[in-house]
Amino acid sequence: MVDYVKLGKDFIRVVSSWIKRNLTRENIKRFTFPQTTLGVVWLFLSGAIAWLIITGIAAMNLRAYLTNAANPQAIAPTYYLFLTIHGWSAMLGVVPNAAIAVIAYSIYKGGLRIERYKLVDSLFWISNLALVFAELGGPDTGWYMYPPQAIEENAVFKAFLIYTTPILIGLAYLALAINSGGEAAITAILIGDAYRTRAKGQKINIFTAYGIAFALVIALSLPALTGATLWYALHFFFGIPVIPLLWLILFWFYGHPVVYYVPFPLFGFFYYAVPKYAGRPLFSERWARWNIYLLAIGTMSVWVHHLQTFPLPVVLRLWITLSTLLLASGSGLTVLNLGLTILLSKAGYNWKDPIGMALLAALVGFILAGIQALPLPFNIVNPIVHNTYYVVGHFHMMIWTLILVGFTAMALDVLKTTKPGLEFSGIASTIMNMGVIWWTVPFLAAGYLMSVEGFLGMLRRWIFYPLTFHSYNLAISILAELGIPGLVMTLGVGLLEFLTFSLPIGKEAQLPSSPSLGGGIVMQQGGLVKEVKLDGRK
C-alpha cells in the first residue's frame, strides 16, 4: 500500500531542500529572465500554471454562489467579479501563456532556437503584470466586455468595482491592450527567430510546423483584442464614442481563434508524442501537414458563428453552418489520424507511462466534448442553446480534457527533456496515472451535467435561476471539488520525480536543480558547481 502521508512529507522535505540549495539571486534571475529556448518554455509554462491557479480559485468562488438557489440581489456584483476574473485569467492569462509555451517547445524540439530572448522575457513580464493591474480594479463585466456595460460607470452599473474614475478605468483597458499587444508581439518574435535559425533547406518536424503555423494565427488575430480594448481606453481618456457592432466584430475576430490558441499547437505535440507511445510512425504525416491549412484558415473565418442570436441574413447563416462544419472536419481528421496511429500499433499503446496516459485521456475527452458540439453549427438548434449552459458544458469539457490534460502531458515531457535520462518510477507512474483519471472522470461528468441543465434551460452568466437547476449546480460544484486533486497529484508527483532525479557517477551524483538556469542543469562534482546547457544552442 502507498503511504500517502509519508509521500507528502517526502515531497515537502525534497522541495524545501531544493529551495534552500537553488533559491539564490543568480538562479532567480536565470529563471525569471532565461537566456535559452528551453528556459523560455519554463517561464511561460510557469506563467500558465500561475494564472490557472487564479482561474481555479475564482471558478470555485463563483460556483459556491451557484450552489445557492436563493441568492440575494446584493450578491450579484461579487458573483460577476469572480466570473470576470475567472474569464480574464483563463482567456488573457492561461491561454496565451500556455500557447506560447507550446510554441516555444515546438521550436526547441525542431532544433531551432529563440534568439531575442531578452525581448521575449521583458514582454512576458510587461504583458502579465498589465493583466494583474487590470484585474486589481475589480472588473465586473464578464470576460466578453461587451458594450455598453463594459464602459458604464453610474449608479445603475459599474464596469469596475474598485477603479471608479474615468482615468483609472481607461488605464485598466490600456493595460489590457498592453497585455494582448505584448503577447502578439512575442508570437511574432518567435516566428521570426524560428525562421532565422532554420537551416537552409531544412524540413521542420510536424510539432514545429504546428507551433509556427498557429503562432501566426495568434499574431494575426490577437491585435484585434488590442484594438478593441485600446478603443475603450480612448473612450475614457478622450470621449471617443464606441460603436457596439463594430466593437463586437473586432472582439470576435479575436474571440473565436483564441479558443484554438492552445489546442491546435497541442495537436502538433500529439502528432510528435503519440507515435512514440504507440511504437509506430504517425499514420499519415501528409494528412497532418495538409490539415494545418484547414485548421488555420478555418479558425479565423468562422468567428461570426458567435453572433447566432443576432438578426443575421440567411446567406450569412448558411456560411456559419458550412464553415463551422468544415473546421470541425479538421478536428475530426486529427482524431482519426491519431486514433489510427494508436489502434494500428503492433506493440500496443503505452498507456502505463503518465505522458501516454495523459495523451490518451486528452484525446478521449476531446472526442466526448466534440460530440456535444455536433448540433451547434445548425441554425435551427444553436439560437436555442447559444446562451445556455449547454455551450458552457461543451467548451469547459474541451478545456478540462484536451487543453489541461494535453498541456499536462507536454509539461511532463518538458521535465524529461530538461533532465535527460529521467524516467518516472513505477509507483510514481501509477500515482500520476491515477491522478489523470481522478481529474478527467469527474470533470467529464461535470461537463455533461452542465450541458443537460443547459438543454433544460439554465442560462449562462446568470446568478439567479429556477430551483429546478439547484441539484445540477450542486452536483457540478461537488464534482469539480472532487476532480481538482487529480491534476495536482499528477503534476506534483512528476515534479517530485524531477527534483529527486540523479544519475550516480561513482561517488558523484547529479543534483536536482532548477530549470531556471537558462534551461540547463547544475552539476556538483568535488565541490565544484557548473551549469550544463541542455540547449546545445543559445
Predicted pLDDT of residue 309: 74
Could you tell me which residues come within 8 angstroms of residue 294 by beta carbon, excluding any fewer than 6 positions away? 326, 327, 329, 330, 333
Residues written for the chain: 538
* 143 contacts 131 by C-beta, under 8 angstroms: no
Determine the straight-line distance between the first and last CA of the chain, rounded to whole angstroms.
Answer: 46
Residue type, 520: G
H/E run at residue 523: strand 521-525
In whole angstroms, give the CA distance from residue 328 to residue 392: 18
In sequence order, the 6+-apart residues with CB closer than 8 A to the CB of 471 are none
What grid cell was written down for 460?
A: 449562462
Contact of 364 with 401, CB cutoff 8 Å: yes
Measured between alpha carbons, how far is 91 from 80 in angstroms, rounded to an integer? 16
Query: 402, 365 in Cβ contact below 8 A?
Result: yes
Cβ(38)–Cβ(538) below 8 Å: no
Place of cell 524516467: 423
- The answer to whether 327 and 298 have CB atoms below 8 angstroms apart is yes
The whole-number pLDDT of residue 459 equals 92
Query: For the chain, what is the radius of gyration of the CA atoms?
Result: 23
Q: What is the grid cell recorded at 418?
A: 530538461
Q: What is the residue extent of each domain of the chain? A: 1-32, 35-267, 361-501
Question: Which has the closest alpha carbon to 358: 245, 265, 248, 438?
Answer: 438
- Cell numbers linked to 366: 476531446
303: which 3 cell numbers?
A: 468567428
Question: Pseudo-torsion of CA 282, 283, 289, 290, nearest 10°?
Answer: -170
CA distance 272 to 281: 9
C-alpha to C-alpha distance for 169 and 138, rounded to whole angstroms: 10
- Which residue from 318, 113, 299 is spatially nearest to 213, judged by alpha carbons? 299
Cα–Cα distances in angstroms (integers) from residue 326 to residues 281, 298, 398, in the given order: 27, 7, 19
Cell numbers at 49, concatenated: 500554471
At 21 the three-state DSSP class reads helix
CB 513 within 8 Å of CB 534? no
Those residues whose C-beta lies under 8 Å from the C-beta of residue 522, and which sit 6 or more positions away, are 22, 511, 513, 514, 529, 530, 531, 532
Long-range contacts of 502-511 (CB under 8 A, 24+ apart): 503/421, 511/21
DSSP result, 442-474: HHHHHHHHHHHHHHTTPBTT-S---GGGHHHHH
User: What pLDDT is attached to residue 461?
Assistant: 85
- For residue 375, the 8-state DSSP code is T
Q: What is the pLDDT of residue 534?
A: 35
Distance CA 368, CA 359 (A): 14
* H-helix or E-strand spanning residue 88: helix 76-88
Per-residue pLDDT of the chain (538 residues; tens, 9 = 90+): 566 677 677 777 777 776 777 777 888 888 899 999 999 999 999 999 999 999 999 999 999 999 988 888 889 899 999 999 999 999 999 999 999 999 999 999 999 999 999 999 999 999 999 999 999 999 998 878 888 888 887 767 889 999 999 999 999 999 999 999 999 999 999 999 999 999 888 889 999 999 999 999 999 999 999 999 999 999 999 999 999 989 998 999 998 899 999 999 999 999 999 999 999 999 999 999 999 999 988 888 887 777 777 787 888 888 888 888 888 888 999 999 999 999 999 989 999 999 999 999 999 999 999 888 888 888 788 888 888 999 999 999 999 999 999 999 999 999 999 999 999 999 999 999 999 999 999 999 999 999 999 999 999 988 889 999 999 999 999 999 999 999 999 999 999 899 888 643 323 233 333 333 333 333 333 333 333 333 334 4
CATH superfamily of 35-267: Cytochrome c oxidase-like, subunit I domain (1.20.210.10)
**In the prediction, which pLDDT does 70 show?**
84
C-alpha cell at 462: 446568470
Tell how strand 528-532 and strand 521-525 pair up. Answer: antiparallel
Run of H or E residues at 520: none
> Residue 13's pLDDT is what?
78
